Amino acid sequence: MAERRLLILGGTAEARTLARAAAALPGLAVTVSLAGRTRAPAPQSGTVHTGGFGGAQGLAAFLADAKIDLVVDATHPFAARISRHAAEACSKTHVPLLMLARPPWRKRPGDAWHEVADVPAAASRLAKLAAEGRGHRAFVTVGRQELGAFASLRGVELVVRLVERPETPIPLSGAKILTGRGPFSLDAERALLAGYGIDVIVSKNSGGDATYAKIAAAREMGLPVILVERPALPDVERAADVEATLAWIEARLG
Ligand code: NAP
């Protein structure tokens, strides 16, 4: 039987795990695409495509040119634009699409969450907590792109964790920058929060295990967490984990 071609839209730990497992399936050629934001991305299995496609139209053209048979959107749940493009391009080219969508974290007893709609709303809530004397040093893990939302904050120190040290300065002059790529352990997150005297956390509701330890540590330590809710994602077929995604792929390989 002719070789089939799978495109995984990546940039997440699940995408890497999926690519490794899918690359081992007989008769399947795997391409993983990365946006190209990280200078030193983690090693990937399969052929790597780096950089955008040029919108939904560009992605549709890529699917046709590369003769892609299946697409898995394994991007981060906050990468909503590429997911919209994938839904549009796959619908246009009739290529089956599955979204590997890890469930969001659910609030547990003891969690002191402040759920907000987006990163600017998280910055406003942090300002409010600081004004009330309930946040003096914040641990911020919302990625690099939207840090500008925190630029005008006063009366609160920021400790920002990024995947890698930025090439250009971030728009927060006084912030302490830490670097690290998950998974993070509970012990390490506890030590980090205590070591830096953190009294409030700002995070996206990313879901998954790799970055959950800070949420568990905050619960143990009684710290408030300002949690950015998920953006709306296209209504496409979904799987919650890598195992279910592999089953979907194998079913289509016949
Ligand atoms: P986004 O806003 O949804 O996408 C912006 C543009 O980047 C897309 O239109 C596309 O460009 C390109 N792009 C995004 N993901 C791509 C991929 N996997 N392969 C090829 N092109 C891609 O995405 P984002 O929030 O900037 O995230 C960028 C990447 O970082 C994603 O791959 C995501 O999985 C990863 N990531 C994001 C977050 C987060 O919080 N947003 C966290 C961890 C990892 P064209 O229109 O030119 O095709």
- CATH number of the domain within which 45 lies: 3.40.50.720
Whether the pLDDT of residue 12 is over 80: the answer is yes
Atom of ligand 1 nearest to the CA of 82: 3
Q: pLDDT tens-digit profile of 157-183?
A: 999 999 999 989 899 989 999 999 999
- 36 in ligand 1 pocket by Cβ < 6 Å? no
Query: How many structural domains does the chain have?
Result: 2
Q: Position 236: which residue type? A: V
Residue ID of nearest Cα to ligand 1 atom 10: 52
Give distance in angstroms: CA of 238 to centre of ligand 1: 18
Q: Is there a single domain that holds both residue 188 and residue 138?
A: yes
Determine what percent of the chain is predicted with pLDDT higher than 70: 100
Q: Is there a single domain that holds both residue 30 and residue 136?
A: no
Give distance in angstroms: CA of 135 to centre of ligand 1: 31
Q: Is there a single domain that holds both residue 214 and residue 237?
A: no
Closest by Cα among 11, 10, 13, 28 to 246: 28
Q: Is there a single domain that holds both residue 94 and residue 25?
A: yes
Whether the pLDDT of residue 254 is over 90: the answer is no
Give distance in angstroms: CA of 80 to centre of ligand 1: 8
Q: Is there a single domain that holds both residue 65 and residue 99?
A: yes
Residue 33: give the domain boundaries: 4-103+232-253
Q: Is there a single domain that holds both residue 29 and residue 93?
A: yes
Mutation choice for ligand 1 from 48, 81, 83, 140, CB with most ligand atoms inside 8 A: 81
29/54 Cα distance (integer angstroms): 23
- 76 in ligand 1 pocket by Cβ < 6 Å? yes
Phi-psi region of 7 (alpha: psi -120 to 50; beta: other; left: phi over 0): beta
- 66 in ligand 1 pocket by Cβ < 6 Å? no
Q: Is there a single domain that holds both residue 219 and residue 129?
A: yes
Residue ID of nearest Cα to ligand 1 atom 43: 76
- 31 in ligand 1 pocket by Cβ < 6 Å? no
pLDDT at 91: 98
pLDDT at 233: 97
How confident is the model over 106-115, as a mean pLDDT? 98
Mean pLDDT computed over every residue of the chain? 96
Q: Is there a single domain that holds both residue 204 and residue 239?
A: no
pLDDT at 39: 87
Whether the pLDDT of residue 101 is over 90: the answer is yes
Listed as own residue / partner, the contacts of 207-210 with beta carbons closer than 8 Å and 24 or more positions apart are 207/77, 207/102, 207/103, 207/104, 207/105, 208/13, 208/14, 208/102, 209/183, 210/13, 210/182, 210/183, 210/184
Q: pLDDT tens-digit profile of 62-74?
A: 999 999 999 999 9
Q: Is there a single domain that holds both residue 14 and residue 49?
A: yes
Q: Is there a single domain that holds both residue 116 and residue 69?
A: no
Whether the pLDDT of residue 102 is over 70: the answer is yes
Q: Is there a single domain that holds both residue 130 and residue 200?
A: yes
Whether the pLDDT of residue 1 is over 80: the answer is no
pLDDT band, residue 76 (cuts 50/70/90): very high
- 75 in ligand 1 pocket by Cβ < 6 Å? yes
